[in-house]
Amino acid sequence: MELESRLSADKGHILKAVLVVHNETSTGATSGIAELRRAMNRCGHPALLIVDAISSLGSMEYRHDEWEVDVTIAASQKGLMIPPGLSFNAISQKALSANKTAKMPRSYWDWQSMLKSSEMGFFPYTPATNLIYGLREALQMIREEGLENVFRRHERHARAVRAAVWEWGLEIVCTTPQEYSNTVTAVFTPGGHDADQLRATILEHFDLSLGAGLGKLAGKVFRIGHLGHFNDLMLTGTLTGIEMGMRLASVPHKEGGVMAALCRLAPTGKNLAAPS
């Protein structure tokens, strides 16, 4: 594993932290955080493990303590189902100690003033109060459904989306099955067809907004979000918009993706509640 060789080579411990995105929204790929941690532990390297869990928290299994993550960065606008504007950090004891001796100037982002205020239930600066009320409700919704059920729902939906994509004969950006994301699927349009034009057609005709390809994937990829407050019918509505949009935009594809998803979601003779 490249991480392991890089860390082993860093005899002087110049590297201070390993930063990983748990769920990469631009490609729809998930990283194995536990495995990365084990690799770091094998090297005995003291770098901190910092994880961006923004688009996975509340949608996929994530274990800050068990996986020995030092800093987890999360936010309100994905699996937590509220508008953007809040961000959270979970911090290990090791990261807190590093913070106390670090020399980099900092002010608003300083954990110490945040921790000190929050002990009494306050914030050092004016917080986005409305979102905090929203968060309380969102957490209540997650509790009512059951966190494990929320995870299973996201997994079922992701499998159904991939079944549709494959039935259409399209290619998924993420090529490693164990890294398929449960919250977003990035899909290549067939050679030469402009993904942004397809997205525009779908938005205009079906009031459905798909994610754009980012960076070097721009124009070549569209992204399907399937996370948060989302159910089977929203999912098939979404896939229908894509299938009808490809037809309208004359993007070559095999019909039947929606049907394939539907079979995945409610297989004949099997109970819905069972993991598919």
Q: Are 187 and 210 in contact (CB under 8 A)?
A: no
Say how far apart CA 1 and CA 132 lie, in whole Å: 40
Structure tokens at 3: 């991480």
Amino acid making up residue 71: V
Asked if 241 interacts with a copy of itself (CB under 8 A), we say yes
Of residues 38, 43, 85, 219, which one binds a copy of itself by CB under 8 A?
85
Which range in 30-38, 146-154, 181-189, 226-234 contacts a copy of itself by CB under 8 A?
226-234
Structure tokens at 183: 């919250």
Asked if 169 interacts with a copy of itself (CB under 8 A), we say no
The interface mask with a copy of itself, positions 113-152, x = CB under 8 A, is -------------xxxxxx---------------------
Of residues 63, 66, 84, 110, which one binds a copy of itself by CB under 8 A?
84
Asked if 7 interacts with a copy of itself (CB under 8 A), we say no
Work out the end-to-end distance of the chain between its first and last CA atoms, rounded to an integer number of angstroms: 31
Asked if 217 interacts with a copy of itself (CB under 8 A), we say no
- Which residues neighbour 260 within 8 Å (Cβ) at sequence distance 6 or greater? 163, 164, 166, 167
Of residues 96, 139, 200, 259, which one binds a copy of itself by CB under 8 A?
259
Which range in 91-99, 146-154, 220-228, 248-256 contacts a copy of itself by CB under 8 A?
248-256
CA distances from 157 to 6, 153, 238, 266 (A): 36, 6, 11, 11
Asked if 262 interacts with a copy of itself (CB under 8 A), we say yes
Structure tokens at 164: 């549709």
Unique residue bearing structure tokens 């890294």: 179
Phi, psi angle pair for 212, to nearest 5°: -85, 160
What's the DSSP call for residue 237?
H
Asked if 258 interacts with a copy of itself (CB under 8 A), we say yes
Give the footprint of a copy of itself on this chain (CB under 8 A): 75, 77, 83-85, 104-105, 108-109, 126-131, 205-208, 231-234, 236-238, 240-241, 243-244, 247-248, 255-256, 258-259, 262, 265-266, 268, 271-272
